[in-house]
Amino acid sequence: MKRLLANAYEHIATSGQATYSHDVVIHGLRVRAITNSEHLIGYWKDNWYGTDEWLRITGQKPAETPDVLVVALGRIPTEAEAAYYSRQNDTVVFFNTSYYGQLKSWVLGAVGRKLAVDYGIHSIHGAVVTKDGKGVLYIAPTGTGKSTSTYGLMEYPNTRFHSDDWVYVRYAYRTKDGKKVFSPARVLQNGEEVARGYRTYKWLEDNRNKDATVIGRGLDDREVTASPAELDIDQPEAYAYTSEKVFYIRSNLVENFPVAAFDFIKSRLENAPDVTPEFMLANKASIDAVETELRRKAPFDKMGNQELRETIARFFAFDNTRAMLDITTVFPKERVFTNPLEPARISAVMLIKRNFDEDVVVDRLSIDEFMARLLVGRTPSGTKEIVYNNYRAVDDKTERAWIDTIEAKGVDKMWAEYGRAKDRPETLHEEMEMFRMLFRSAAAYDLNTILQKDPAVTSKMAAVHNTMRIIVAALENQRDDFRYDITDYRKIAE
């Protein structure tokens, strides 16, 4: 790390290239980016709350010095194209890459590790929408319908848009007088720290009558204290906090929500390829549908027919084309969470998948099923993605190899095997312990987005509409036996 930083700062001092530095606040942590890329610094400033914005919106003053540092430099011939992360120093170093998505994911990983270990705050690759004050948390690998489900639910009344891609979850206990203690970060006993961060939850369950002091946060994010005996340990609650000021989002969203194109066209597109005539022909129906919504509306009214159609196609020709989306331009501001410290109570968790080999559409999960689904973490392409948190700053290979050993004993036995194991990686335990708290705090469901298998479903939009009805029914019912397959889901979807 010393060598990398020394080379980086020497380059800054001697190259003569313009260098930019900008501090932002990501869920209370001050993060500084230093880069010589106008592209990266532009996305960075758009994406996150600046320190002055954070203070103005939340009333909370950020730390004077950075909690996390990221240095991202290009055009350095003495360094390989590579990225480095040090948990000990809370530092990320990038050389010779200008892909903002990679920079963002590594920073989120670094921030997430610090929040989990030091504060017991859970970072989740997911999205949240509230309906009638009840939050739905979607957790899903790419390509299964997370964004579609998030935006689709907003068609219902009494809904508010919370987050699109990344959520911070604080677990809370109520006290006997009705107050809440959020994210108990430390437990002190006889003046000594006996638990910290994510380890506090299990300690409290095992020592609920001990004479100790629990240090957490109040609803106003200020420090509060309580004794274990004052807390309702058996009824934890989960609260989601939005992370991004402006969403860095896949632009293929326009296929189902053409209105997003009005914001995307004003944003810098990242990874947007030129499109071939063959692609245009193969996707004519999708292009036609979006064009109908955009034609004769500014700024698309200034484009010729061919330019407009190619512009639309570029939005979804590559799955990882990204743009910045200010969600308040899509939905009225009063229907959007715009204060990053305004919590949304999570009532239901949807683990989304798309497996056409199964007929089950929705199923209420037990703790064993929920945790096994997270441990296996299969994407539609068949690859494995641990707990779908693919932005985690960990040695994924080590964790994956360890998980394979207990998966081999049977998926239905994985959580029991996990509980008995003595050699599980600590970074994995950190994640699974907080997902255990999520299960204790909200109803968990398996949602399989396969309604196109139903012969009565004639379009993708109809499948999305019916899926939204299923989500609403799950949110309202929360029965332990809530389970429907492709043959009987219409009982709740119509």
- Residues 31, 32, 36: CA angle, nearest 5 degrees: 145
Q: Which domain holds residue 213?
A: 176-231
Predicted pLDDT of residue 143: 67
| pLDDT at position 239 | 97
Q: Both 129 and 87 in a single domain?
A: no
pLDDT for position 69: 97
Residue 49 lies in a domain: yes
Q: What is the pLDDT of residue 377?
A: 76
88 and 18 in one domain?
Answer: yes
- Determine the 3-state secondary structure of 36 from DSSP: coil
The reply to whether 237 falls in a domain is: no
Block mean pLDDT (10 aa), the chain, length 494 = 90 92 97 95 95 95 96 91 92 92 92 93 94 94 76 92 93 89 93 95 94 92 92 96 90 85 86 91 92 93 94 90 87 94 96 90 96 83 70 79 91 93 91 96 95 88 89 90 94 80
pLDDT at 252: 86
Domain end among 307, 322, 337: 322
| H-helix or E-strand spanning residue 317 | none
Give the pLDDT confidence score for residue 319 in this predicted structure: 79
Structure tokens at 441: 């705090």
The total of structural domains in the chain comes to 4
- Residues 114 and 157 grouped into a single domain: no
What Rg do the C-alpha atoms of the chain give, in angstroms? 23
Structure tokens at 367: 């703790």
79 located within any domain: yes
In angstroms, rounded to a whole number, what is the distance separating the alpha carbons of residues 158 and 67? Answer: 37
Is 61 within the bounds of a domain? yes
Domain edge (last residue) among 119, 151, 184: 119
> Is 263 in the same domain as 286?
yes
23, 51 contact by CB (below 8 A) = yes
What pLDDT is attached to residue 376? 85
Residue 241 domain flag? no
Q: d(Cα 182, Cα 204) in Å, to the nearest integer?
A: 14
Q: Are residues 474 and 335 in the same domain?
A: yes
pTM for the predicted model, two decimal places = 0.91
